[in-house]
Structure 1
Amino acid sequence: MTSAGLYPELDEAALAQFVTALESGDTSTLSSELAEEATQARGKVEFLKVRVPVDPAPSEPGVSVELDGAVCMPRGAGPFPCVVMPAPWTDLGWIAYAAQAAQLALKGYIALAYTPRGFGKSGGKVEVGGPLDVQDGSAVIDFMLANLPAADPSRIAFLGDSYGSGISLLVAAHDPRVRVVGALSTWGSLGEAFYENGTRHVASVAALRGAARNARLSEQTQWAFDQVQNSESISPEILGWADERSPLAPWCVDRLDRPDLAVFFSHAWHETLFPVNQTLELFNRLSAPAKRLNLSIGDHSSPEMSGILGLPNRIWSDAHRWLDYHLKGLGELDGNTVVSEIMWSKTLESHPDWEAATGTHARLYLTGPASGATDGRLADKPQNDWNTVLLTGTDTAATVADAIIKTGYAEMAGNPKAYPTAQISRTDAAVWAGEPLTATAKVRGTPRLRLTCEPSTAKATFVAYLFDVAPDGNASIITHAPFTALGATPGEPVVADIQLQAAGYDVPAGHRLMLVLDTKDPFYSDANEAGSKLTLSSPDGAPSHLDLPLA
């Protein structure tokens, strides 16, 4: 996987040519939009490349480490508000922000973009938002204030996409000079992003490794990635490593929750790298009034990508308004903290908080199949005299996505993955379907599944998928979640009580809701033993059910 593996539409050549145009004035290779922006910037903006000295790793004392970066700033004495931009998880480094930095400078900001250690032309090794990355962020502020006399020390923001967003939050938690944060496609809990309901996100780590194949990973980073990919369970040491890098960790979230810090988040509903729930929890944990969350159709960084390429973009425009208001006192905010783009209408809904954005939970009970049928029902009353037995270890047509991140671009284009539900093996999956809807079902919030299962061995994994099924039998995925039990007693019930990932989804009238459960998905680790079985049931007094938030 190339660096563009996490960002399939990232046009590295165009951004590199844009930097060349800023230096030379030659716009002949650029699109008309980038050529116009480069020409404007050449007349009004000063552009310079920089090398920022930072501390070496403790294991490499005396080693000289510098971060590669660049500055776009207005001409004039200032003082100007400052935006520091740590680059995404790509060898392209700060160049990924070249167009955005020029736009910010044209609006009166000093924009300093830099490549985090271990990537591109920066020194050091990749620490995944570790303490050295946090120290580096403060060192970049020091460098900016020491070398750019027009920089206003009282008006500093950190703005980043993907890897740069997590670093931005962590730096803000440690350095009170940061007054505004823009965290686009970010993470809240790195531990939960890698390890959900006892299940390792092996595809996420594989994608990160593939995209960083030219980067220099620290030994600790390699060890952590190895553990997530290859160990049966996550050790306390790995969770401690993740906690140190998680804005949602108690030590960090309390520092972010300060009245003088304004935080802007953006995320995608079907995020496969950093699933939305852990970022949503971080957003809800912040009690300070200056926060905003923008939720979109797509996957990791895809809703923001056109803005990175210098094109008009809703997310980046919203982030710019956030900066203008909190750093320059310009414009007005609408008072809403949550804006969500609904699948598949693309309708934008605005709400004062997450609670107002969510629906009221309606309980649907899982029943056994009727005589002669293979599928159970999603019903309004419980039925507790059934069980379903699955053979484990076989993937079915129910999957999270065709490919990590790339499927999200098709969703943005209005072409979500089609799941032919008739092709889902009823031997290897359990299926429950509702009746055709008489009105649109507005799914708003976090569904919750409670299910009793009995593994035939000490270990079991399943993945639950919620689908919107059209009358022709083809479905679109609404949300999903994995679950793994380790150390179970064979034949004894295990209760899975799990949150599916949050969703903003309209299921049209005439369509049906369908819950599918199978035991293997390439996105996740698989604890099932060869030849094992999984028995699903709904015992008296504790019926299996799905709580669905409906507006």
Structure 2
Amino acid sequence: MTNYTTKGMLAFLLALFFVTTGPATAGQSALFPTMSLVAGVLNQPLFPVSDAYTTNDDVVVYSEDGVNIEANVFIPSTGQSSYPAIIFISSWGLNEYEYLSAAGRLAEQGYIVLSYTTRGWGESGGLIDTAGPKDVADLSAVIDWLIANTPADPQRIGTAGISYGAGISLLGAAQDTRIKAVAAMSGWGSLVESLYAQQTPRLVWGELLTLTGDLLGRPDPEIHELWDNVKNHRNVEETISWASIRSPLNYVDQLNANGTAVYQAQNFGDDLFQPNSPLELHRKLTGPKHIDLQAGTHAFVEIIGMLGDGDTHIWNNVSRWFDSHLKGEDTPIDQQQPVQMKVKLTDRYEGFSDFPVPSAQPESWYLHPRTAFREGALRDTPFQSWFSRSIGISSWAGTLADTGIPLASQLFEQAKAPITAPIRLLGRDRSIWFRTARLSSDLKIRGIPTTTVQVTPKSDSLQLVAYLYDMDWTGTGKLISHGPITLPSTSPGETVALDIDLVATAYDVPAGNRLALVLDTRDVLYKHPDARATKVDFEFSSHQASRLTIPAL
């Protein structure tokens, strides 16, 4: 179907929508937010209508290098001399019409709301800068325009965005002291960690982002070059330098000096911007801060909120955050603990004063090797033996231990459908696994699990993926968390200790079940360093301890 046909079909659907709802009630229809978002994606804006505000879709801001930034603005019509203002920054692949329904709701609450398309996308000019210095300069130019052309109060300006817009919001707030509050949803703390944590290229998401850039935007040629560097472990220092400039964690001192109020929302199943580095950013912030964590894939929880009336945990907290820090009002978010974790597979949020969670104490188990007749074990004491043992596995194929279907499985987790694996059926030539005894009480995991393993690579490169499972009596494991590590170059035959950080989580393992740790060599999310099969031995001896450590309440 051509673009013309698509837009024609959209026009027909929108016309049908207005005919069936009536022009006076279309903005109040339950379908309106969905229709508005879909229309906006196709650059056919569908603005909400209200007597509480006016809208202007003809805003063009020129950045310091002359590039045009396309925008729209909602202005309350109550006639006040000034209003607090919120700037929405578009997500990767989307445009200024992404947030129209949210903008309308906030405008009704007395905010000027400006939304803009980042450079290199849609009708805005220039090339995609991937949250670089030009994107930060564009945000400051938008603030200049907002102050000069609307009754925005220069002392009460906030920024918000999902994903790409979240990162630019944080980076801009570090550089522009006029930004008093930020709502960063599904953003990142370290772009280095997001692309290459533990030297492991994020294959699925990296390919998806570069493809989206090619299809919908105008990417700077360096984007493909840098992504090829990441995939092939080439020019690593240059690539890390590029990504470091785009990492809010590296500007935390500026955010603290500015006193910026930072709200973050992250999803445990976000395999693009995994929550570990946003949590590290939260830990280092000294100003007002709040982070919500819940199950779900990248940005999906936030988008679901935009498709409805905004009455969700995250979007309510976004509104409350700005009410608190731009209007000076007392709101329910002020009464919440600043770290809120929604326990996976439940509807329950738990609040904590900080991260790492102060009340979560480390519990450790030591890895004991399997035998021909006995499963590998997780025990309270280290492995002791007169003889050392080696157990080898190969990467010639993956196993049934994995992160599921990329993007989709994490959506199912949000609906309380866990990712599972038949632990006892995993191939012994391709994986190694260990399990505890049956738990005598619930194990409440809150934080970042870690494991240290002693291994001897047998090939020139190595990749391991650690999976943590809640294993029931049938041997079926529900995935709690996972984490990869890659050695693009090894010294075959030399034993090394590898420390693997898994993704932060909140999960309750019920009494009677077991905790299981699986290690194999491949997962579809990550690029393997070698097209050939690689081999690795796991080492067990009295002087080489391997362990699993869990932060537990």
Q: TM-score, normalised by structure 1?
A: 0.89
Note the alpha carbon deviations across 1:455-508, whole angstroms, 9 max, x for none: 112211111111112223222211111111233221110110122111111111
Distance 2:53 2:22 in 1: 12
Measured on the aligned residues, the alpha-carbon RMSD in Å equals 2.5
Tell me which amino acid in the other structure corresponds to 1:211: T
Distance 2:534 2:463 in 1: 11
Contact 1:69/1:112 (CA < 8 Å) preserved in 2?
A: yes
Q: Which residue of 2 aligns with 1:538?
A: 540
1:286–1:398 distance in 2 versus 1, CA, 3 Å: same
Note the alpha carbon deviations across 1:408-428, whole angstroms, 9 max, x for none: 221111112222224421211
Tell me which amino acid in the other structure corresponds to 2:243: A
Tell me which amino acid in the other structure corresponds to 1:133: D
Q: Which residue of 2 aligns with 1:298?
A: 296
Q: Which residue of 1 aligns with 2:461?
A: 459
Deviation at 1:35, TM superposition (A): 4.9
| Partner of residue 421 from structure 1, selected from 420, 423, 430 | 423
Q: What secondary structure sits across from 2:98 in the alignment?
A: helix
Distance 1:382 1:180 in 2: 49
Q: What secondary structure sits across from 1:139 in the alignment?
A: helix
Q: Which residue of 2 aligns with 1:390?
A: 393
1:13-28 superposed matches below 5 A: 26=23
Contact 1:99/1:310 (CA < 8 Å) preserved in 2?
A: no
| Partner of residue 54 from structure 1, selected from 32, 46, 62 | 62
Q: Which residue of 2 aligns with 1:7?
A: none
Q: Which residue of 1 aligns with 2:106?
A: 104
Contact 1:443/1:549 (CA < 8 Å) preserved in 2?
A: yes
Q: Which residue of 2 aligns with 1:44?
A: 52
Deviation at 1:269, TM superposition (A): 1.3
Q: What secondary structure sits across from 1:200 in the alignment?
A: coil
Q: Which residue of 2 aligns with 1:182?
A: 183
Deviation at 1:371, TM superposition (A): 4.4
Contact 1:56/1:124 (CA < 8 Å) preserved in 2?
A: no
Range with bigger deviation, 114-123 or 379-388:
379-388
2:509 is the alignment partner of 1:507: yes
Deviation at 1:54, TM superposition (A): 2.8
2:87 is the alignment partner of 1:84: yes
Distance 1:521 1:40 in 2: 44
Note the alpha carbon deviations across 1:356-385, whole angstroms, 9 max, x for none: 455111111110114413x31111111153
Q: Which residue of 2 aligns with 1:274?
A: 273
1:99-178 superposed matches below 5 A: 99-148=101-150, 150-178=151-179
Distance 1:48 1:335 in 2: 36
Distance 1:492 1:516 in 2: 23
Distance 1:172 1:377 in 2: 49
Contact 1:86/1:165 (CA < 8 Å) preserved in 2?
A: yes
Distance 1:313 1:70 in 2: 25
1:13–1:535 distance in 2 versus 1, CA, 3 Å: farther
Q: Which residue of 1 aligns with 2:355?
A: 354
Q: Which residue of 1 aligns with 2:3?
A: none
Q: Between Structure 1 and Structure 2, how many residues are aligned?
A: 522
Q: What secondary structure sits across from 2:218 in the alignment?
A: coil
Q: Which residue of 2 aligns with 1:33?
A: 30
Distance 1:30 1:80 in 2: 23
1:13–1:321 distance in 2 versus 1, CA, 3 Å: farther
Q: Which residue of 2 aligns with 1:329?
A: 328
Deviation at 1:346, TM superposition (A): 2.4
Q: Which residue of 1 aligns with 2:228?
A: 226
Contact 1:369/1:376 (CA < 8 Å) preserved in 2?
A: yes
1:13–1:513 distance in 2 versus 1, CA, 3 Å: farther
Deviation at 1:531, TM superposition (A): 4.3
Q: What secondary structure sits across from 1:43 in the alignment?
A: coil
Deviation at 1:398, TM superposition (A): 1.2
Distance 2:102 2:364 in 1: 46
Distance 1:467 1:53 in 2: 51
Distance 1:226 1:335 in 2: 43
Once superposed, which parts of structure 1, at least 4 consecutive aligned residues long, lie more than 6 Å away? 27-31, 36-40
Deviation at 1:305, TM superposition (A): 1.7
